[in-house]
Structure 1
């Protein structure tokens, strides 16, 4: 960083190897620091980073290990509204994970703590795995003749173009202008994507699964959801640490801008959920979707120390989702009726406590 950490300077990509950098954790910084890039996992500055690393590594899974044979039959029996929602939501989820896979290295280039670099690399791998999972769902459930058309929805549907353009624009702004303040905003954009943009879609698939339909797809979504929680935790912690290291960045004006980004994202997610799902699907409706996204956004902001936008949204309107998102215990899988331990090697980080929410 070329200025005194005021937010108006320019961040520079870290050097690949800098033997003159110190290895004292107290001297390291999230951005604008000097780094050797040595992965000293027993000597991390942030005490949360190694437990999160182990949790993310233990969350290993392969999409193809989940059988989708019955789901193809279920998909063919969906009514027109359900199938239309399925196709549009899958296309949007593919876009989100594709964008993350491509963009996370742009952020990582400016992070000067190796333990955080490592976590962002694992997240990048997991985002690619999620795209693989959606591809597996499309090829197994929908059929090869319709796959290309579903992928194209993400770049042709006017509702998706608007919201995809918003989040991609937030990312592009940092690519074009790498300032410390821009880093805060690109972290917020990632946090919004991980913590808000997936959830109308996730709720649709969980809703189908609770009625015994497309339960294999529901299990795939459950694994993806578990990964996304660790990504959410990563950006929460990065945000908190940067606030401690660079308090001058977090002016009232910037914090209000961050809340404004969240407000726009909530409005987009509600509009999208009501368009894709609306009042056409058994168990969901436009009002529930709006209340659910507002409810989530309050927790997301409070976890960052920011004021919630919707204090009246203090009740979970979709409590059935919690039965699909209990990750840290060995139990009978709701979908497969077999015993699964969702943290395969045990875990140091309690996923169900990451954000005071199961989601």
Structure 2
């Protein structure tokens, strides 16, 4: 199949219809009427995203400032490494979301990706905020250098880096689809061993401010993963020549590779942390991979991991009813009753 480079979408084309004729490579005027879009349910996704607005400095870190020196050496090391991991992933995600929007010819996609890009910028700011609360500037800088210097982290991010850069160099439909695959992996699986570490601290009443921040990020990422999965399905449906055995096998292969790399990373960074079962963590990673594949319209690759093996983690993510936990009552979150109606099943 010959490579066809996509052009960046024009800002305004008044002779084209307002309702886009295609997500990528289609025609639209550039005028967004949310009541007349190609995928009407995306308006609800947009509303959920903007309803999640929060700022990093809303979170009270006073107790964390006092507690960080009391953590074990292993916990402190994992804390700094995982913040380094998360910043490595969220920083380029802002730019990737904006790049995807530049080639989207559906103005609703442009608007949704703009919100996602803004939220990813807030996430990255939050990592700077929590580190500045608990360690010196030198330690902060070391943590943010890990994405460039830690061999295990570099190996874990290598495939994602290659694909994101391939999209920059060759903006084709194939590279957009592959970038959406890695974005879905990032939003729906890559973060989760790191999230689990902070939730594990919180269930032992440690670093509750940090876990609150992570829960807000986690909530955003769940919504991002939903939309990216929808965008992948729509793009694949509009370009059926890629809906073939070769491409779908590429997706499954890269999911499996990513799972193995994530398990290797989690063993490396969580191996000496008390309270986390590494076999359970590996099962959770496989469960998350299955869940993202189903959201993308594909089938499970780990049939033995269709249920969440780390159910305790559900109590540490805010629900999707638009409310936020009071920052002075964080400890009560671990006793909150959960149900399938409040979004926790997405974990």
Q: Same fold (TM over 0.5)?
A: yes
- The answer as to whether partners of 2:215 and 2:318 remain within 8 angstroms in 1 is no
The aligned counterpart of 2:5 is 10
Cα deviation, 1:305-356, whole Å, max 9, x if unaligned, reads 212211112332211111112413488949732799xxxxxxxxx8717xxx
CA-CA distance at 1:212 after TM superposition:
0.4
The aligned counterpart of 1:181 is 174
CA distance in 1, matches of 2:72, 2:115: 38
Alignment equivalent of 2:282, drawn from 286, 290, 301: 290
CA-CA distance at 1:293 after TM superposition:
0.2
1:358 maps onto 2:313 in alignment: no
CA distance in 2, matches of 1:332, 1:241: 32
Alignment equivalent of 1:92, drawn from 63, 80, 85: 85
The aligned counterpart of 2:310 is 318
Aligned to 1:337, the other structure's residue is in SS state: helix
Cα deviation, 1:69-105, whole Å, max 9, x if unaligned, reads 1101211111111111111000010111101012222
Cα deviation, 1:25-83, whole Å, max 9, x if unaligned, reads 3x521011012211212222211211111111111111111110110121111111111
Number of equivalenced pairs: 340
> Aligned runs of 1:294-313 on 2, under 5 Å?
294-313=286-305
> Aligned runs of 1:207-246 on 2, under 5 Å?
207-246=200-239
Q: Is the deviation greater in 116-125 or in 71-80?
A: 71-80
- The answer as to whether partners of 1:325 and 1:358 remain within 8 angstroms in 2 is no
The aligned counterpart of 1:42 is 35
Q: Is the deviation greater in 137-146 or in 325-334?
A: 325-334
What is the RMSD of the two structures over their aligned residues, measured on CA atoms? 2.2
Cα distance change on mapping 1:231 and 1:329 into 2, 3 Å: closer
CA-CA distance at 1:7 after TM superposition:
7.3
CA distance in 2, matches of 1:61, 1:46: 27
Alignment equivalent of 1:119, drawn from 101, 104, 112: 112
Aligned to 2:343, the other structure's residue is in SS state: helix
Task: Specify which structure has the bigger relative contact order, considering alpha-carbon pairs within 8 angstroms and separated by 6 or more residues.
Answer: 1
CA-CA distance at 1:255 after TM superposition:
0.4
1:136 maps onto 2:145 in alignment: no
- The answer as to whether partners of 2:94 and 2:120 remain within 8 angstroms in 1 is yes
Cα deviation, 1:221-271, whole Å, max 9, x if unaligned, reads 011111111111111111121233222221111000011111111111111
Structure 1: give runs of 5+ residues left out of the alignment: 1-5, 341-349
Structure 2: give runs of 5+ residues left out of the alignment: 333-340
CA distance in 1, matches of 2:324, 2:124: 27
CA distance in 2, matches of 1:91, 1:235: 24
CA distance in 1, matches of 2:260, 2:63: 35
- After TM superposition, the score normalised by the length of structure 1 is 0.89
The aligned counterpart of 1:3 is none
CA-CA distance at 1:20 after TM superposition:
1.7
Cα deviation, 1:156-182, whole Å, max 9, x if unaligned, reads 100111122221111111111222122
The aligned counterpart of 1:343 is none
- The answer as to whether partners of 2:9 and 2:103 remain within 8 angstroms in 1 is yes
